[in-house]
Structure 1
Amino acid sequence: MRQSPTERRTGHRSTFAVLALGVAAFAFLQSLVNPVLPTVQAELGSSQTDVTWVLTANFIAASVFTPILGRLGDMTGKKRMFVVGLGTMALGCLLSAVATDLSVMIIGRVVQGVGGGVLPLAFGIIRDEFPQREVPGAVGAIAGLTALGGGVGLILAGPIVDAFGYHWLFWVPLIVTVLSALAAQFLLPESRALSAGSINWISAALLSGWLVGLLLAVSQAPTWGWSSPSVLALLAAAVVLAVVWVVAESRAEHPLIDMTMMRIRAVWATNLVTLALGAAVYSALGFLPQLLQASPSDGHGLGASVTESGLMMLPQTVAVFVLGLVAGRMALRFGSRNLVVVGSLVSAVGFLLVVVAHDSEWAIYLITAVNGAGFGLAFSAVANLIVAAVPAHQTGVASGINANVRTIGGAVGAALMASIVSGAATTGGPPGGSGYATGFLVLTGVLVLSALAALLIPEVRRDSRIHNGPDVEMRHPEVALVPGGTLVESESGSPPGGRQNEP
Structure 2
Amino acid sequence: MSERRNPNPSGAARQEAPPAPGAAAPRRVGNPWMVVVSLSIAAATASIQQTAVLPLLPRLQESLHASVTSVTWAFTVSLLCGAVATPLFSRFGDMYGRRRMLLLTLALLVAGSVLGAVSTSVATLIVARVLQGVSAAMVPLAIGTVRELLPPEKMASGIGVLSATMGVGVGAGFLLSGVIAEFTDGYRVVFWIIAGLSLAATALTALVVRNAAPPAGGRPDLPGAFLLAGTLVCLLLAISQGKAWGWDSGAVICLFIGAAVLGAAWIAVERRTADPLVDIGMLTHRGTIGASLASMLLGFALFSGFTLLPNFAQTPANAGYGFGASVLGAGIYLLPTTILMLLVSTLAGGLIRRFSAANMVAIGAILAALSNVYLVLRHDHSYDLYVATTLLGLGVGCSFAALGTMAVEHVDASKTAVASAVNSLVRLVGGSIAGAVTSAILASDTIEGTKVPTLHAYEVSFMIAAVCVVLAAAFAALFGQLNQRAAASAALPR
TM value normalised by structure 1: 0.88
Q: Which residue of 1 aligns with 2:472?
A: 450
Q: Aligned match of 1:93 in 102, 113, 118?
A: 113
Which residue does 1:254 correspond to in 2?
A: 275
Aligned residue for 1:124? 144
In the TM superposition, what whole-angstrom CA distance separates every residue of 1:354-381 from its partner, at most 9, and x where no partner exists? Answer: 1121111122111110111011111111
The verdict on how the C-alpha distance between 1:221 and 1:138 changes in structure 2, with shifts beyond 3 A counting, is farther
Partner of 1:396: 417
Deviations 1:167-193 (A, max 9, x none): 011111111111111221222111315
Higher helix share: 2
Contact in 2 for aligned 1:56/1:216 (Cα 8 Å): no
Q: Is the CA contact 2:362–2:472 (under 8 Å) kept in the aligned structure 1?
A: yes
**Hey, what's the Cα distance between the residues in 2 that align with 1:244 and 1:382?**
29
Within the candidate set 432, 436, 441, 2:463 is matched to 441
Q: CA RMSD in A?
A: 2.1
1:313: which partner in 2?
A: 334
Where do 1:316-395 residues align within 5 Å?
Answer: 316-395=337-416
Indicate the residue corresponding to 2:13 in structure 1. Answer: none
Equivalent positions of 1:180-329 (< 5 A) are 180-329=201-350
Q: Does the C-alpha gap of structure 1 residues 223 and 373 become closer, same or farther in structure 2, counting only changes over 3 Å?
A: farther
Structure 1 position 18, deviation (Å): 1.3
Is the Cα contact below 8 Å between 1:215 and 1:408 reproduced in 2? no
**Which range moves more in the overlay, 403-412 or 7-16?**
7-16
Q: Which moved more, 1:47-56 or 1:222-231?
A: 222-231
SS of the residue corresponding to residue 405 of structure 1 reads helix
Given that 2:47 and 2:169 are in contact with CA atoms closer than 8 Å, whether structure 1 keeps it comes out as yes
When structure 1 is superposed on structure 2, of 397-406 and 128-137 the one drifting more is 397-406
Alpha-carbon offset, residue 161 of structure 1: 3.4
Partner Cα separation in structure 2 for residue 28 and residue 125 of structure 1: 21
- 1:107 corresponds to which residue? 127
Counterparts in 2 of 1:426 and 1:78: CA distance versus 1, 3 Å: same
> Which amino acid in 2 is paired with 1:413?
A
- Asked if the contact 1:194–1:393 (Cα under 8 Å) also holds between the matched residues in 2, the reply is no
Q: Which amino acid aligns with 2:307?
A: G
Take 1:405 and 1:224, find their aligned partners in 2: how far apart are those partners? 27
Mapped to 2, the partners of 1:48 and 1:260 lie a distance apart of 40
Paired residues of 2:288 and 2:408 also in contact (CA < 8 A): no
Deviations 1:412-452 (A, max 9, x none): 22333233333321332221112111221222222211111
Alignment deviations for residues 138-173 of structure 1 (CA, whole Å, 9 cap, x no partner): 111112211112112111212213434310111111
Q: Are residues 385 and 225 of structure 1, via their aligned partners in 2, closer, same or farther at CA, if it must alter by over 3 Å?
A: farther
By how many angstroms is 1:95 displaced? Answer: 0.7
Alpha-carbon deviations, 1:286-337, whole Å to 9, x = none? Answer: 0111011111111010111111111011011111111122122101111111
Under a length normalisation based on structure 2, what TM-score does the superposition of the two structures give?
A: 0.90
Asked if 2 retains the 8 angstrom alpha-carbon contact of 1:195 and 1:393, the reply is no
1:18 paired to 2:38: yes
Aligned residue for 2:479, secondary structure, equals coil
Q: CA deviation at 1:401?
A: 2.0
Number of residue-to-residue matches in the alignment? 470
Please point out which of 473, 485, 490 is paired with 1:493.
490
Aligned residue number for residue 16 of structure 2: none
Moved more, 267-276 or 383-392: 383-392
Is the Cα contact below 8 Å between 2:243 and 2:444 reproduced in 1?
no
1:60 aligns with 2:80: yes
1:360-414 Cα distance to aligned partner (Å, 9 max, x none): 1122111110111011111111111112233333322322221121122122223
Q: Deviations over 1:63-102 (max 9, x none)?
A: 1111100111022111110001100111111111111121
Q: Which amino acid aligns with 1:494?
A: A
Q: Secondary structure at the match of 1:197?
A: coil
Q: Distance in 1 between matches of 2:448 and 2:5?
A: 63
CA contact (8 A) 1:24 1:146 kept: yes
CA contact under 8 A between 1:70 and 1:400: conserved in structure 2? yes
Pairs within 5 Å for 1:461-480: 478=486
Matches within 5 A, 1:136-215: 136-164=156-184, 165-215=186-236
Does the 8 Å contact 1:458/1:478 carry over to 2?
no
How big is the shift at 1:495? Answer: 8.5
CA 1:387–1:8 in 2, change beyond 3 Å: closer, same or farther? closer
Given that residues 193 and 393 in structure 1 are in contact (C-alpha distance below 8 angstroms), is that contact kept between their aligned partners in structure 2?
Answer: no
Match of residue 409 from structure 1? 430
The CA distance in 1 between the partners of 2:223 and 2:445, in whole Å, is 44
- CA distance in 1 between counterparts of 2:412 and 2:45 reads 28
In the alignment, structure 2 segments of 5+ residues that lack a partner are 8-26
In structure 2, the CA distance between the partners of 1:124 and 1:419, relative to structure 1 (3 Å rule), is same
Alpha-carbon distance in 2 for matches of 1:76, 1:354: 47
Describe the SS at the equivalent of 1:304: coil
Q: In structure 2, give the amino acid aligned to 1:320.
A: M
The 5 A counterparts of 1:69-80 are 69-80=89-100
User: What is residue 11 of structure 2 aligned with on the other side?
Assistant: none
| 2-structure distance, mates of 1:258, 1:29 | 28
**Cα deviation digits, residues 336-361 of structure 1 (max 9, x gap):** 11111111111111111111211111
Between 1:175-184 and 1:413-422, the stretch displaced more is 413-422
How far residue 222 of structure 1 moved from its aligned partner, in angstroms, is 4.2
Q: Relative to 1, partners in 2 of residues 1:41 and 1:5: Cα closer, same or farther, differing over 3 Å?
A: farther
Conserved? CA contact 1:60–1:113, under 8 Å: yes
Structure 2 counterpart of 1:362, which letter?
Y
Residues 39-83 of structure 1 deviation map (CA, whole Å, 9 limit, x = unaligned): 111111112121112112211111111110011102211111000
The code of the aligned residue for 2:324 comes to G
**Contact persistence 1:261–1:390 (CA under 8 A):** no
